[in-house]
Structure 1
Amino acid sequence: MTDPDRETPGPRETLSSVNESTWGPTPATGRAPAEPPAPPRKKRAGRDLRAAVGVGVGLGAVVLAALFVYRPAFLVVIAAAVVVGLWELSTRLVERKDVRVPLVPLALGGVATVVAGYLGGTEGAWSAMALTVLATCLWRMFSSPENYLRDVTAGVFAAFYVPFLASFVALMLAADDGQWRVAVFILLTVVSDTGAYAVGWRFGRSKLAPRISPGKTREGLAGAVFFAAVAGALSMMWLIDDGTWWQGVLLGLGVAISATLGDLGESMIKRDLGIKDMGSLLPGHGGIMDRLDSLLPTAPVVWLLLAVFVGVE
């Protein structure tokens, strides 16, 4: 209960007592001292950095072992990534849009497209791709005709987006120095992504595509171009026979642009689906598709530029 004989302190007395107990005596002016400025917030990466690094190192070890110990084993890595990527994409489409793509013919046809690209070149990859599209259309015919066109269209998109683009990695692998071409392709894509992240995190101010990916900045893109160009010049001189530094600069530029567009493209898909990640298979990274977003569209770019610069074989 309140003591009726005790006077209720006025606003100035209350403020003075609070200031005195918290910040010390109030100055003679009667004004409350200004609060100390809050310490600046540190930027955060938004993911578990330790998990991301650990998973990245583990994946890198698997890729390098398969690539340089026994080249055909790398086909298994590509095929596994294609199947898991198709599964993640089809699962999200069902969950968020009720779009039911025929996963079985897509997965089988995706593996066939990768293998055909390695064994039969571009003709083999295109032939397997055409059969995959045909099988997807036929498979869906055994279900309800409702939304047939929508589901088949999504299936054809998935076939081109994942296995067909991945087949260009198999085409690079089939060359005499295939392991080095694939290594350069992966290296430049990783360097481009890392350069964009590091420069954008430290210096990023101007948004690149705020409606699609608010975290992307023009400064980050400049960092991707610079680091990929340097890495490309060094890679072409040291790792690719008959390669020159200026070819590497052009290669790095192409990688930086295609990797950025690929990242933005998947961001657009995820925004349309209303999700942050395509999956959760890789701690700190999301799903397989969240790692393939910049690799897939970069594969045909690197394959084409290397074919122009040093030939297909």
Structure 2
Amino acid sequence: MNDSSWGAPSHPGQWGPSQQGAVPAGPAHGAAHAAQTRPMPTVPETGGDQDDRHRGAARPSGPPAGGSRSAEPPRRPEESAVPQKKRAGRDLRAAIGVGVGLGAVIIASLFFVKDVFVGVITAAVVVGLWELTTRLEERKGIRIPLVPLAVGGAAMIVAGYVRGTEGAWFAMAVTALALLVWRMAEPPENYLRDVTAGIFAAFYVPFLATFVALMLAADDGAERVLTFLLLTVVSDTGAYAVGWRFGTHKLAPRISPGKTREGLYGGVAFAMIAGALCMEFLVEGGSWWQGLILGFAVAISATLGDLGESMIKRDLGIKDMGKLLPGHGGIMDRLDSLLPTAPVVWLLLVLFVGN
């Protein structure tokens, strides 16, 4: 069904008895008119207002038995379909305040001491792993060893920053092996399920975040990371604003009912404009047309990342991964679009301007 028809007001005369049993005035039709306007006997309601509305059935409008209070006149279809004011789905004041605070910490650490920013990435990864493993155990009974996962995740970030892609892959392999061995201390039941989920978590959170450290290791690493963050935030904000104001066609109603196609188009447009500006004035050796490609790729990957985490949350039956950030949810609810976007931005920047 076309989503633009959801909640659309009925056309006048489409429902209700007012135009189904109209009788011309005059004495010749008096008896027929009286027979048709005679009150119908009360019958048990089986479907509520929705069933009555679709069947076009009229309810008795007389006063209740034993009382003199007049009954409320039935609403017309056009009166019941009063458009409701759109409301934002989160606390915008808290979300903006937390976003500004996080942005200040990121910018300060990014441009003054790169090593501190590596610590910020590592802390976000460890907290995100804790949220993910906790929700998996609560909702699905999946027990992932957090200690080797957190230590291995931190090692991936540091190894990627110091040793590049080879270091990141080596740390990922060691982390997977540590999960396999650590889980052997528990009973063998669900061993395969737990270690499989652990390897997925290691790849999903710390390994993808390693590409941020790889960007940071470049000579103009601060500018590259800032471009990555700006484009992702601009894409998310543009999609949210345009979708909230103009969105009517659902993008993926089974996964994330709040997302619309119009929001996706808005996110793509905002990200492409921001990408052209960043590549032209922020990244050394970049061009505006490269920024258009980069912005388009960021908008698509950020949307897919958001939908991917929504799939996980729907499978777990939860709304947010955590409550650490007021107005945002948990750390994982902020990393959802950043994680899959990091390797995309890293790869395109390497192709466009090199290492």
TM-score (norm. length: structure 1):
0.89
Question: Residue 139 of structure 1 aligns with which residue?
Answer: 182
Question: Residue 310 of structure 2 aligns with which residue?
Answer: 267
Amino acid at match of 1:202: R
Question: Residue 331 of structure 2 aligns with which residue?
Answer: 288
Q: Distance in 2 between matches of 1:253 and 1:206?
A: 20
Q: Distance in 1 between matches of 2:234 and 2:135?
A: 29
Unaligned runs of 5+ in 1: 1-9, 23-30
What SS is found at the alignment partner of 2:251? strand
Q: Distance in 2 between matches of 1:73 and 1:52?
A: 24
Amino acid at match of 1:128: A
What SS is found at the alignment partner of 1:305? helix
Q: Distance in 1 between matches of 2:240 and 2:74?
A: 44
| Structure 2 counterparts to residues 215-226 of structure 1, below 5 A | 215-226=258-269
Greater displacement, 102-111 / 42-51: 42-51
Q: Distance in 1 between matches of 2:138 and 2:324?
A: 17
TM-score (norm. length: structure 2):
0.79
Q: Is the 8 A contact 2:144 2:197 kept in 1?
A: yes
Amino acid at match of 2:354: G
Question: Residue 256 of structure 1 aligns with which residue?
Answer: 299
Structure 1 residue aligned with 2:166, among 103, 110, 123? 123
Percent sequence identity is 73
What SS is found at the alignment partner of 2:177? helix
Q: Distance in 2 between matches of 1:214 and 1:121?
A: 39
Deviation digits for residues 99-138 of structure 1 (CA, Å, limit 9, x no counterpart): 0011100000000000000000000000011101111111
**CA shift at 1:206, angstroms?**
1.0
1:212 to 2:255 alignment: yes
| Structure 2 counterparts to residues 110-189 of structure 1, below 5 A | 110-189=153-232
Query: CA 1:139–1:42 in 2, change beyond 3 Å: closer, same or farther?
Result: same
What SS is found at the alignment partner of 2:185? coil
Q: Distance in 2 between matches of 1:34 and 1:202?
A: 28
Q: Distance in 2 between matches of 1:248 and 1:217?
A: 24
| Structure 2 counterparts to residues 1-313 of structure 1, below 5 A | 11=62, 18=70, 37=79, 40-312=83-355
Question: Residue 25 of structure 1 aligns with which residue?
Answer: none
Q: Distance in 1 between matches of 2:78 and 2:317?
A: 40
What SS is found at the alignment partner of 1:216? strand
Between structure 1 and structure 2, the one with the greater Rg is 2
Q: Distance in 1 between matches of 2:338 and 2:138?
A: 25
Q: Is the 8 A contact 2:160 2:166 kept in 1?
A: yes
Amino acid at match of 2:260: T
**CA shift at 1:145, angstroms?**
0.6
Q: Distance in 2 between matches of 1:144 and 1:264?
A: 35
Q: Distance in 1 between matches of 2:293 and 2:96?
A: 29
What SS is found at the alignment partner of 2:326? coil
Q: Distance in 2 between matches of 1:207 and 1:182?
A: 32
Amino acid at match of 1:161: Y
Q: Distance in 2 between matches of 1:42 and 1:163?
A: 41
What SS is found at the alignment partner of 2:257? strand
Deviation digits for residues 233-277 of structure 1 (CA, Å, limit 9, x no counterpart): 000000001100110000001100000000000000000000000
Unaligned runs of 5+ in 2: 1-60
Amino acid at match of 2:93: R
Q: Distance in 1 between matches of 2:259 and 2:157?
A: 32
Q: Distance in 2 between matches of 1:18 and 1:228?
A: 59
Q: Distance in 1 between matches of 2:345 and 2:116?
A: 21
Q: Distance in 2 between matches of 1:123 and 1:131?
A: 12
Deviation digits for residues 85-105 of structure 1 (CA, Å, limit 9, x no counterpart): 000000000000000011100
What SS is found at the alignment partner of 1:191? helix
Query: CA 1:236–1:37 in 2, change beyond 3 Å: closer, same or farther?
Result: same
Amino acid at match of 1:82: V
What SS is found at the alignment partner of 1:141? helix
**CA shift at 1:11, angstroms?**
3.6
**CA shift at 1:48, angstroms?**
1.2
Q: Distance in 2 between matches of 1:195 and 1:47?
A: 16
Q: Distance in 2 between matches of 1:35 and 1:251?
A: 49
